[in-house]
Structure 1
């Protein structure tokens, strides 16, 4: 047996070494494992390695501790820089641009994240994003806000009577235990061609013309109010007349669950005739549209507010026209609960799959054709 004892060793030392001979063989086999323990660590070693590398502060926010062990040291070297924020967010598969506040703001040392995509959920994603960002920012910097899809900036009204008004606040809402505010937006686009049953129920149906002109029997309007081009063909005249009927009408977007029960109603903010335009105000399906009294289609838009029916899942959407508000419901109320609106005619019923969230304003766009 090989020995590491010096030649001057006594009988006791030699006997002790021989008694542990088998154990030395076992330890010899473990030497390679000790050497490679940090390169290919066992799952039970990961928390201890994170503590040894000084990464324990990130463990509450990073679910994949293996990636944290391999890349965490590089993050530590970049910590306190914008590159450190980018590296830290990569641990939780988030890509975002860090935007510092304008130097003239009172909170000049704050930053916001402009996310590249909407987080899949509010919990635990937002807590992780905030935690990693705060640990990665320079010491004097504060994380103020996260934004995607809906970003309303504050209006500067200093030294004016409106100083301190709500317009000086940026969009967003606090969520859970996070101290930052979150301003997210999501768009759902729908298309619908008005059916005869829907048009008849509304009192807005003109039989598609089969001759060179519309029938006088279908002219349910004053001729002086007809905004028709003399060169328009009968089919175009029909679409224009039916689109004009919607001008000034109150409409509500109704959101329903999969079983048909009503989640709530959101008042439509836009309902008007429109025409394609290269510099239009509205976008739908990749095209731009401008309001047009002689338009041949109707653009309808509604946008939920932060906190409208959070944690609900909308599976059906339609438009309610000529509905009646319940007694005591103010006319200006934008979100109506189930039961606060009755009657009316439902059109454009469409299946959707939209999880309503407290931090997301959902925009619904409907292009109605005839």
Structure 2
């Protein structure tokens, strides 16, 4: 250790050198001072709150509660804060990735941005942290206002997009709190269902196969069609044509078999395979066909929040039903006991859907007659 007298000028007096040595605490603190070298690389737990404060990382503690992780990741995050790289790094702490979509410069609120997340949120509790780190990672002028995955419908802009592919109000989504971001998620469940004898009998359209290609006449009001309107499987086509007219509904039930709710179908069409058709299922495209079809496509799409708090364990279809309350003929979602079903349920299929406030659930059935 350097002697204290060596730090004084050569003109110092003996009294000054003695006083310097008397008040010098270096001999007593030298060991502690030496041990501080590199302590920030392996700090003890008691040091962590002070280091977080020193590095200005306190605003990240709600999103990275492990302070060792926060010190390791947070310092690197501060170096790229205000750039897309900071958003990527912060979302990685939460287990997500996303593409950043900024508002068009022609818009009055050009500073808004959205996140195209890599998947539907794992849990609703993940959304507030995503909102928080997104706003902390971007420049002060930028505002995160929406995240989406699986379901993304944009507002109508005249002369810029098709009316049938846009909303008249704003982008799709729902907010969990008034001052928070909007979230728009969607999941699709597709079921290719071969109609069983039990299904067809329940609908009242079952035709016994004769084995010789002929179709026996049934006491049903058949459409006024020529026989050449049917394809190779006239029996299947006739059974499909005989299905009673009415609105189709998807019926969701919990694990105990109790009805959670009914959702009106947005698509209910006899279809044939058509590469240019508007409907898609299982990698193929389909088009509506009034005749000559032996398949029916039924699709229902729940709205945000419908069924919230429940978990569906099965879904089935009711092909002809109306709301029991005549004052609500256009209702889209009905609770237990609110549907007047003209036909029994068919195509009961197990699934697992935890309904949420920010997710629209799409169920599609391709019914093969």
Question: What TM-score, normalized to structure 1?
Answer: 0.84
> 1:348: Cα distance to partner?
0.7
Query: Do residues 310 (structure 1) and 308 (structure 2) align?
Result: yes
> Structure 1 stretch 102-111 or stretch 287-296: which is displaced more?
287-296
Q: What is the CA–CA distance in structure 1 between the aligned matches of 2:364 and 2:158, rounded to whole Å?
A: 32
What's the CA shift string for 1:175-198, capped at 9, x where partnerless?
136521111111111222222222
* SS at structure 2 position matched to 1:168: coil
Could you list the runs of 5+ residues in structure 1 that have no partner in the other structure? none
Could you list the runs of 5+ residues in structure 2 that have no partner in the other structure? 7-13
* SS at structure 2 position matched to 1:323: strand
* SS at structure 2 position matched to 1:47: helix
Q: What is the CA–CA distance in structure 1 between the aligned matches of 2:215 and 2:44, rounded to whole Å?
A: 80
Query: Do residues 364 (structure 1) and 363 (structure 2) align?
Result: yes
| 1:178–1:309 CA distance, 2 compared to 1 (3 A) | farther
Which of 59, 62, 67 pairs up with 1:60? 62
Q: What is the CA–CA distance in structure 1 between the aligned matches of 2:49 and 2:255, rounded to whole Å?
A: 44
Query: Is the 2:99–2:116 contact (alpha carbons within 8 Å) kept by the matching residues of 1?
Result: yes
> 1:35: Cα distance to partner?
3.6
Q: What is the CA–CA distance in structure 1 between the aligned matches of 2:123 and 2:366, rounded to whole Å?
A: 29
Name the structure 2 match of 1:277.
Answer: 274
Query: Is the 1:112–1:143 contact (alpha carbons within 8 Å) kept by the matching residues of 2?
Result: yes
Query: Is the 1:62–1:128 contact (alpha carbons within 8 Å) kept by the matching residues of 2?
Result: no
* SS at structure 1 position matched to 2:330: coil
* SS at structure 2 position matched to 1:269: strand
Q: What is the CA–CA distance in structure 1 between the aligned matches of 2:114 and 2:179, rounded to whole Å?
A: 14
Q: Number of residues paired by the alignment?
A: 351
> Structure 1 stretch 89-98 or stretch 297-306: which is displaced more?
89-98
> 1:4: Cα distance to partner?
6.9
Name the structure 1 match of 2:11.
Answer: none
Query: Do residues 38 (structure 1) and 40 (structure 2) align?
Result: yes
Q: What is the CA–CA distance in structure 2 between the aligned matches of 1:207 and 1:44, rounded to whole Å?
A: 80
Q: What is the CA–CA distance in structure 2 between the aligned matches of 1:313 and 1:138, rounded to whole Å?
A: 40
* SS at structure 1 position matched to 2:280: strand
State the Cα RMSD in Å.
3.1
> 1:140: Cα distance to partner?
1.1
Query: Is the 2:153–2:167 contact (alpha carbons within 8 Å) kept by the matching residues of 1?
Result: no
Query: Do residues 49 (structure 1) and 48 (structure 2) align?
Result: no
| 1:63–1:227 CA distance, 2 compared to 1 (3 A) | farther
Name the structure 2 match of 1:256.
Answer: 253
Q: What is the CA–CA distance in structure 2 between the aligned matches of 1:348 and 1:114, rounded to whole Å?
A: 35
Name the structure 2 match of 1:225.
Answer: 225
What's the CA shift string for 1:216-264, capped at 9, x where partnerless?
x24834463357546x33xx21222222334853111111111111111
